[in-house]
A and B are shown apart, each in its own frame.
Chain A
Amino acid sequence: GAGVSQTPSNKVTEKGKYVELRCDPISGHTALYWYRQSLGQGPEFLIYFQGTGAADDSGLPNDRFFAVRPEGSVSTLKIQRTERGDSAVYLCASSLFGVGGGNEQFFGPGTRLTVL
């Protein structure tokens, strides 16, 4: 079956521009997560959705970052006024359930964002 997909796979932008990164979770998965991974580091949690609502956005680094999941399926991570320090691989994951943990998170291949 289809796994988690992310588009685009690569995004190159200029400092100060706005970008949107898309995540298509596995069908039926209620929980969706965004992580950011810098070179040589483990993924870093950004935000967690349960259904349409952001249950935990404590990992978003500042107010330039925002994410939505309006219909409880596809999610978009939006970054305003991009900075060079935003360059990283942005990973999306989904799981069948969220609350209670212990539910395997399936990761997408990531979007590599490069801010020039």
Chain B
Amino acid sequence: GESVGLHLPTLSVQEGDNSIINCAYSNSASDYFIWYKQESGKGPQFIIDIRSNMDKRQGQRVTVLLNKTVKHLSLQIAATQPGDSAVYFCAENYGPDGGTSYGKLTFGQGTILTVHP
């Protein structure tokens, strides 16, 4: 079946650097995308989302870019801090049979981000 995947399973950066985490998705019917951060022993934590009618959205220190042409999603973290170290998941949302989505999420495998002080 169609799924969401990640290019890089691990990413190591120095504190203060910018980080970019990439994600490829294959379902052209997906209309909503979310990035989650998951720390060890905790549930996923919402970071930022974007709808398919947008190509960029910014939050606090984070930016999500969506390229529907190549079905690519990225998360940019500015001035990465040690507290950003975690596993990052992208997730896509589409409705059954291409209909209205209702929040059923399909997650990718995840990227481990390690920030060195």
Number of interface residues, chain B, beta carbon within 8 A: 29
Does B100 lie within 8 Å of A99, measured CB to CB? yes
Within 8 Å by CB of B107, from A43, A101, A108, lies: A43
User: Complex: how many Å from CA A108 to CA B106?
Assistant: 17
Q: CB-CB < 8 A to A107: which residues of B? A: 36, 43-45
Residues in B lying within 8 Å of A, measured CB to CB: 4, 31-32, 34, 36, 41-46, 49, 51, 89, 91, 93, 95-96, 100-110
Q: Smallest distance from the beta carbon of B15 to chain A beta carbons, Å?
A: 26
Interface size class of A (residues with CB under 8 A): 20 to 34
User: If A42-B109, A44-B107 touch, does A101 touch B44 (CB 8 Å cutoff)?
Assistant: no
Main secondary structure of the interface of A (DSSP, over half): loop
User: If A31-B103, A42-B91 touch, does A102 touch B49 (CB 8 Å cutoff)?
Assistant: yes
